[in-house]
Structure 1
Amino acid sequence: MKRHLPAALLATTVLLVGCAVSEDTEVSDVADVEIVDTVEGTADADAESAPSALPTEVTAMLATYGLEEVSDVRDAVDALDQLDETRPLSVHASVRTDEVIFIDGEDEYAVPVPGDEVYVSIAPYEQHTHECHYHALGGCQGELVDEEMHVTITTNDGDVLVDEEATTWTNGFIGFWLPQDTQGVVSVTRGELSGETEFDTGEGGATCITTLQLS
């Protein structure tokens, strides 16, 4: 059984399917990691001392992109998603609602996300999109790159979490840390085009939103 330990080295065989935009269809591959087998590692004492620290193997992976100073899992998520590099990257990382799974060859490193927020990355589109549930920081590529738009994120209770101008990154996404166990609507306006879709940061919820079409 998989344990949610910080900086845990989980030797595993994994199936990694990357995210990419298809020019021929609106649905492409699913960004996901299927865990076939795991081996537990590290001590519980580490969980209390550094709940979001990255294992040295992961920091070495990040260093290949000039991110050697990144040592916290939240900072790693932000840095990788905003990295100005063409996808796919050699760094494979799958964002879940409670942890980020980094994959290096046949080794997997599951790092819990501390606090009470979930990272949700959004790729608004006009013509082409891809199917996705868990955001692949090194693989997902959206259609609209370096495009300015207005983003509003509102809960079902009417609370406005985000109301700001944003510019999509090189991977075509924009990401936000949202409260756990929250449901609502993401609305995006770009010029005369607009669209909206639902979000859910409950357990197992989607961290990759690719269903927001601007029309």
Structure 2
Amino acid sequence: MKVVNGMTAALLVSLVPVMSLSAAQPAAPAAAPTPAQLTGLTAQQALRKANQWRNAGGVQSFVTSEAVVFKFPSGEQKSVALPARQMVIAIAPYVNQTHPCKTHFMSGCQGELANTPVSVLVKNQAGKTVINKTMTTLPNGFLELWLDRNQTYQVTLKSGGKATSGTLSTQAGSDTCVSTLKLQ
């Protein structure tokens, strides 16, 4: 046997696969979400966290007209209040399939058009444009629109040469999930 730097060639060869395996080991799983991770977050940050935690550790999350709510497997519940002047409405435009929904569950609602560019035009009751931009639906197929409270809005969505329109309401108790806008 040949000796290389004090090791036999056989020993050196047998170490190569071990070193390769240890370098290819998967990273440790991320820590399970906890209520403490929500401390100090704004409603917008809490909504982003809910979308990040969509499939993480059994956390259930949804948004009402008043708060982003998290229910943890331990039974603990934590809410992050929405701003006094705004609320969020999640819209899942669709072409072929949808689901009936009134309260948007970030941990469960799935729209048909994930990661899809959508032209969004929102006008208030006076006809003033409040949103006019192209947005990309989230991996769950939803657009999240932050709108002033106590208003009724007209929304028009366009994607893939198809369009739809409808009415949104931001009153106390209004739906936070709109899954009825079919692109035609």
TM-score, length-scaled by structure 2: 0.73
Match of 1:73?
Answer: 43
- Contact conserved, 2:46 with 2:80, CA < 8 A, in 1? no
Map of 1:1-215 to 2, 5 A cutoff?
57-60=34-37, 71-81=41-51, 83=52, 88-89=55-56, 90-105=58-73, 106-215=75-184
Once residues 204 and 80 of structure 1 are traced to their aligned partners in structure 2, the CA distance between those partners, rounded to angstroms, is 21
| 8 Å contact kept, 2:42–2:80 | no
- Select the structure that is richer in helix: 2
Is the Cα–Cα contact under 8 Å of residues 59 and 70 in structure 1 kept in the other structure?
no
What does the per-residue CA deviation read over 1:2-49, in whole Å, with 9 as the maximum and x for residues that have no partner? Answer: xxxxxxxxxxxxxxxxxxxxxxxxxxxxxxxxxxxxxxxxxxxxxxxx
Distance 2:44 2:84 in 1: 10
The answer (yes or no) to whether the contact 1:88–1:140 under 8 Å persists in 2 is no
User: How large is the Cα RMSD of the aligned pairs?
Assistant: 2.2
Whole-angstrom CA distance in 1 between matches of 2:115 and 2:162: 16
TM-score, normalising length from structure 1?
0.63
Once the two structures are superposed, residues 53-73 of structure 1 have per-residue CA deviations (whole angstroms, 9 ceiling, x without a partner) of xxx94244x7xxxxxx98333
**SS at structure 2 position matched to 1:75:** helix
Quote the Cα distance in structure 1 between the aligned partners of 2:36 and 2:164.
38
Q: Secondary structure at the match of 2:45?
A: helix
Instruction: Check the 8 A contact 1:187/1:195 in 2, yes or no.
Output: yes
Partner Cα separation in structure 1 for residue 127 and residue 174 of structure 2: 20
Query: Gapped runs of 5+ residues in structure 1?
Result: 1-55, 63-68
Q: State the partner residue of 1:42.
A: none
* Partner secondary structure for residue 138 of structure 2: coil
Name the aligned partner's letter for residue 149 of structure 2. Answer: Q
1:53-100 Cα shifts (integer Å, max 9, x gaps): xxx94244x7xxxxxx9833321113433x3x8x55532112111112
1:154 deviation in Å?
A: 1.2
Percent of aligned pairs sharing the same letter: 27
Q: List per-residue Cα deviations over 1:100-155 (Å, max 9, x = no partner).
A: 22111333223322331001111100011011111111111100011112011112
User: How far, CA to CA, are the matches of 1:172 and 1:70 in structure 2?
Assistant: 28
Q: Which has the larger radius of gyration?
A: 2
Give distance in 2, aligned partners of 1:107 and 1:96: 18
User: Aligned equivalents of 1:178 and 1:73: distance in 2?
Assistant: 13
Label 1:211 to 1:59 Cα distance change in 2 as closer, same or farther (>3 A). farther
Question: Mind listing any 5+ residue stretches in structure 2 that lack a counterpart?
Answer: 1-32
